[in-house]
Amino acid sequence: MWRDAWRRLRRRRAAVGAIWILLLVAVLAVIGPSISPYGFEALDYGHLAQAPEFVSRHWFGTDDLGRDLYVRTLLGLRISLAIGLLATAVSVAIGVTYGAVAGYLGGRVDEVMMRAVDLLFALPQFFFVLLLAVVFDQNLIVLFLTIGAFGWLVMARIVRGQTLSLKGREFIEAAVAGGATTTRILTRHVVPNVLGPVVVYATLTIPQMILLESLLSFLGLGVREPLASLGGLVADGAAHMEVARWMLLIPGGFLSLVLLAFNFVGDGLRDALDPREHA
Amino acid sequence: MSAPLLAVHALNVSYDVDRRKLRALTDISFDLDGGETLGVVGESGCGKSTLARAILRLVRVASGRIDWQGSDWLQHDPRALRLLRRNVQIVFQDPFASLDPRMTVGAAIAEPLEIFRSERTLAEREREVARTLERVGLGAALMNRYPHELSGGQCQRAAIARAIILEPRLLVCDEPVSALDVSIQAQIVNLLRELQMELGMSMIFISHNLAVVRRISDRALVLYLGRTMELASRDALFRTPRHPYTRALLDSVPTPSVGARRRGVRLDANEMPAPIDPPGGCVFHTRCPFAIDRCRQEIPRLEEAGPGQRVACHRWRDLPVGD
Amino acid sequence: MTPVLHIENLHVRFATPDGVIEAVRGVDFSVAPGEFVGIVGESGSGKSQMLLAVLGLLARNGTTTGRVRVEGVELSQDNEDALNRVRGARIGTIFQDPMTSLTPHMTIGKQLAEVLEVHHGLTHAEARLRSIAMLERVHIGAAQTRIDQYPHQLSGGMRQRVMVAMALACGPALVVADEPTTALDVTIQAQILALFRDLRRDSQLAMVLITHDFGVVADVCDRVAVMYAGRIVEAAATRDIFRTPRHPYTEGLLAAAPRLDDEVTGPMRTIAGQPPSGYVDVPGCSFAERCPWASDRCRRERPRLLESGGGRSVACHHPLTEVRA
């Protein structure tokens, strides 16, 4: 099934292109900064707010404090990607477990669990994230956790739905008849069979997480200085838009590219894994 | 005479549908000895699949007893129940649906071993799986394949392998050959027969195909709308059926030969009543060509009509016996 | 007499990512007016695909080659208009699952009337009268009330009768039925088969009945064609096929199907192995690998479908000659 999906995915050029871009970006984020002679917080007084040029090796230019934008952008990319992936991992872990248990156990347990989700859903998520960011003084770990903690809600709903339809399938009945415990059924039979939609949704969650963190950074509540995520760089760039356009355009461009690419891959995966898709 | 392996007594199973109660099985009783095969026949809505699931405790039983080797296993707590499960296994109708599409055939067959820890090491388990695959006529090489890579017949053999790897005392087969081609059906029926003899298993063989049931069963149970119509030894049921429904069933099966004499019992052109709303009195009376007033009012009891033959019909004494 | 249906050298192929599947491999087949013909085969035999090809209902990745003539008129697969005119008006269809063949949100009266209005230009009132008549013809009681019911209000057997009525609505010359009784209970199946026997008495109607059940064929058909791996391997009058099956596959199939009147003890007769996949076509006889009498010649040279008189034809190098009991 994965092989067929892969084959179908390969045919969607947008998705394939997006995958290449993401790979490229990832490589860049990992090894890119080491190519440059500059550090991310080094202040180069000789080149304040300088446009991108080749000679001074400030390939993306510098910001108003003389910091090299190439290194900062790529580091920002690293941070944004890390946040996106980690937060998504948290929401997947929580969401899948919660949804599978609720869906499989059914009855009252399911009702109670899903009402809890409905309740949390109704809360103003952004507000809470803001609150926690302020209270915990922009601690990076707390940031990861709080962002991820809200992402699991939709994942839980999706997984619960999938589990409900899986429950009636005969191989689950066969496992029960064979004496399997509920835990075994959930881990060995339910979860592997809901991975399809989970992977799709996870891929689409990553850009949401990145965007959420970017918004926080824009408000000054994201990753703390001198570290900066792409969002933080964009915030900086927006403030200096008139004198140093590249400060906004370059990190902004990378951010948009990454978000778009993840969305394309996610859409492509969703179509590729859809069993009703014909040749 | 030793106690039967399985004794079902006054079993009732119902489902809630739209706030109404659908009685899927009403007052079902039968015994099963070691090594014996009971065929269960009936048409849609008769409750035969529900019976399979009730025996496997996959659905809730409203009332009644299921005595396994003397003790009522409806009374067992979940832990004891799990341990009992190694003795009763099931084979389903759709071989592809009964195997986890994400697991290899080998992993699926090994699962009962993992659950009941019969074999300790991975190597021992693999050997056991390979042995069982051979037993059901599949090459050990198929261990690493996925269900969708196999044919229907091969998949069903794999499902059977999974069911017998722990050598259960009772195997329940719910329409095990209905989804297979005719030439493969015969292979699987033969396989089940051989395994039964080899392992000394009892079998409950559920099918709508009377001819297949006839080849494999020692006794047969005829169900209609959740109730027993007739319970008899194979010869009695197929040679001298006494219940009008049994006779209608047998007469409806088209014979593969030209000019076969079309026998007696014609059912009224009425359709099967909906199980949620069964007729009063004898549930079969709306379609029975021999129904009288008593049939509309009084539910017939299951009575002895001869050696090894019990019928639930008010008129079994005065109706001519099918030939 | 112009055959109602004439198929010549029909090939049906499907393009899949894993290669080309040839479901039908050069079939010649004819149905005379008023004739009831059964096509028997297991999965992979191509029997259903052949029917779908004639009706122009193949999946998108399917291609048909060969000639199809309906009442003498050549049908081209590309001419959607011509196909539409033929479907429904000249050829009625009955599929296996009445649940999915009827539109759930339209009353059966409307569905019946639609066929009539489209093909015969009847008015609403005329179509309704004719629909009631059709329902009565297929023995649906209280047709006046039933006609305004929805499919889910009818039982499986009743729905299948409605399918028959729809197939017959425009007075076609041919009705094709693909496993029409397989999804029905055996007592209901008996009623539908009785209906078919009834229709058979109408000398104008021809039927092609696709099934895996020889019992159904014995009950309803004048002639039988047995298909294996995309080809017809034997064709004969029903009576002859049962008494003297010539092809080993036909014989094996007849022997493997359990009957209520055969002996009870001992293992069932089987055909070893399993039906072939549609991807590979062996040079010799497709059945050779499963045939107990296969010779070297069988594995090298593909037997052609040869007529042997009396309306019989077999594709076998060593046809059987014994009489079955």
| Domains of chain A and any CATH numbers | 2-273 (1.10.3720.10)
Name the more confident of C219 and C278.
Answer: C219
Give how many domains chain C has, as a whole number. 1
Architecture of domain B6-224: 3-Layer(aba) Sandwich (3.40)
Rg of chain C in Å (alpha carbons): 21
Name the more confident of A278 and C144.
Answer: C144
Query: Is C88 touching B (CB cutoff 8 A)?
Result: no
Chain A residues within an 8 Å CB radius of C17: 4, 7, 279
Both tokens assigned to A104:
């499989």
Query: Is C100 touching A (CB cutoff 8 A)?
Result: no
Query: Is B86 touching A (CB cutoff 8 A)?
Result: yes
**What pLDDT, on the 0 to 100 scale, is given for residue A278?**
40
Q: Which of C156, C186, C238 is opposite residue B208, by nearest beta carbon?
A: C186
**What pLDDT, on the 0 to 100 scale, is given for residue A277?**
44
Q: ipTM exceeding 0.90?
A: no
**Residue C126 domain flag:** no
Chain A residues within an 8 Å CB radius of B116: 179
Q: What is the mean pLDDT of residues C297-307?
A: 91
pLDDT, chain C, mean: 87
Q: State which residues form the domain around C252.
A: 222-325
**Ramachandran region, residue C266 (left: φ > 0; alpha: ψ -120 to 50; beta: rest):** left
**Residue C263 domain flag:** yes
Q: Domain residues of chain B, as ranges?
A: 6-224, 239-323
Chain B residues within an 8 Å CB radius of C215: 253-256
**Residue C304 domain flag:** yes
Chain B residues within an 8 Å CB radius of A105: none
Task: Judge contact between B29 and B8, C-beta under 8 A.
Answer: yes
On the question of pLDDT at B85 being above 60, the answer is: yes
Please tell me whether the overall predicted TM-score, pTM, comes out greater than 0.90 for this model: no
Q: Which of A77, A28, A35, A84 is nearest to A202 (CA)?
A: A84
Question: What are the pLDDT digits (tens) for A136-164?
Answer: 776 777 777 777 777 888 889 999 999 99
**What pLDDT, on the 0 to 100 scale, is given for residue A215?**
83
Chain A residues within an 8 Å CB radius of B58: 173, 176-177
**What pLDDT, on the 0 to 100 scale, is given for residue A279?**
34
How far apart CA C48 and CA C205 sit, in angstroms, is: 21
Question: What are the pLDDT digits (tens) for A192-219?
Answer: 888 888 988 899 889 988 888 888 888 7
**How many beta-carbon pairs below 8 A join chains A and B?**
63
**Residue C251 domain flag:** yes
**Lowest-pLDDT range of A4-13, B239-248, C16-25, C137-146:** A4-13
Q: Helix H segments across chain B? A: 48-55, 78-84, 105-116, 122-135, 152-164, 182-199, 210-216, 234-239, 244-252, 293-297
Task: Judge contact between A76 and A229, C-beta under 8 A.
Answer: yes
Q: What is the mean pLDDT of residues B44-48?
A: 89
Query: Is B259 touching C (CB cutoff 8 A)?
Result: yes
Give the residue from A162, A173, A184, A194 with the most B CB atoms within 10 Å of its CB, the best one to mutate.
Answer: A173
**Residue C268 domain flag:** yes
Q: What is the mean pLDDT of residues C141-156?
A: 85
Both tokens assigned to C197:
């026997």
Question: What are the pLDDT digits (tens) for B222-263?
Answer: 999 999 999 999 999 999 999 999 999 998 888 887 766 565
**What pLDDT, on the 0 to 100 scale, is given for residue B27?**
94
Both tokens assigned to C247:
């092809």
**What pLDDT, on the 0 to 100 scale, is given for residue B260?**
64
**What pLDDT, on the 0 to 100 scale, is given for residue C37?**
96
Name the more confident of A268 and A276.
Answer: A268
For residue A163, give how far its alpha carbon lies from the nearest alpha carbon of chain B (Å): 14
Chain B residues within an 8 Å CB radius of A192: 100, 102-103
Cβ atoms within 10 Å, residue A110 = 18
**What pLDDT, on the 0 to 100 scale, is given for residue B264?**
62
Phi then psi for B204, rounded to 5 degrees?
-115, 115
Rounding to the nearest 10 degrees, give the CA dihedral for residues A245, A246, A247, A252. Answer: 100
Task: Judge contact between C178 and C94, C-beta under 8 A.
Answer: yes
Task: Judge contact between C181 and C160, C-beta under 8 A.
Answer: yes
Question: What are the pLDDT digits (tens) for A237-257?
Answer: 888 888 888 888 888 898 999
On the question of pLDDT at C325 being above 60, the answer is: no
β-pair partners for C20? C15
Query: Is C16 touching A (CB cutoff 8 A)?
Result: yes
On the question of pLDDT at B89 being above 90, the answer is: yes
Task: Judge contact between C159 and C151, C-beta under 8 A.
Answer: yes
- Answer whether A179 sits within 8 Å of B83, measured CB to CB: yes
β-pair partners for C22? C13
On the question of pLDDT at B172 being above 90, the answer is: yes
For residue B92, give how far its alpha carbon lies from the nearest alpha carbon of chain A (Å): 8
How far apart CA C230 and CA C275 sit, in angstroms, is: 11
Query: Is A3 touching C (CB cutoff 8 A)?
Result: no
- Answer whether B115 sits within 8 Å of A180, measured CB to CB: yes
CA–CA–CA angle C262, C267, C272 (5° rounding): 110
